Amino acid sequence: MSFTGKYELQFQENFEPFMKAIGLPEEQIQKGKDIKSVSEIVQDGKKFNITVTTGSKVLHQQFTIGEECELEMLSGEKVKTIVQMEGNNRLIADLKGIKSITELDGDTITLVSVQKD
């Protein structure tokens, strides 16, 4: 199963409490809560290129499954992590106390972010 495709944000749950918990400023939370994002993913074997466009902000992420990489968090901070694949449809990464799980189901991607503490 390939993650390659273009995905538009349909809905988000608990956005504001989560963003507050990870320390995003209130102004940034308010700006981002109603903006729909579009994620474009290109998968080439174990290599991923992801472009997320949210309003005028464009975030580029690149990683290879099982290898250390540097990913940018919503706060703009860059953190080192290793993205793992579970089965053929789930990506898991730990980003400085946040567990990120991206799951592909047909043409729908679900992203769950959980603050560990």
pLDDT digits (tens, 9 = 90+) for 19-37: 887 778 888 888 777 788 8
**Residues 68, 65, 95, 100, Cα dihedral to 10°:** 180
pLDDT at position 67, please?
Answer: 98
pLDDT at position 117, please?
Answer: 64
Does the domain made of 5-115 have the CATH classification 2.40.128.20? yes
Q: Considering the entire predicted model, what is its pTM? A: 0.85
Cα–Cα distances in Å, from 19 out to 13, 48, 65, 90, 105?
A: 11, 25, 27, 23, 26
Cα–Cα dist 42/25, whole Å: 31
- What pLDDT digit, counting tens, does each position of 89-113 carry? 999 999 888 888 999 998 898 988 8
One-letter identity of residue 52 = V
The domains of the chain are located at 5-115
One-letter identity of residue 75 = S
| Closest listed residue to residue 35, CA positions, set 73, 62, 8, 64 | 8
Mean pLDDT of 76-88: 93
- What pLDDT digit, counting tens, does each position of 39-57 carry? 999 999 999 999 999 888 8
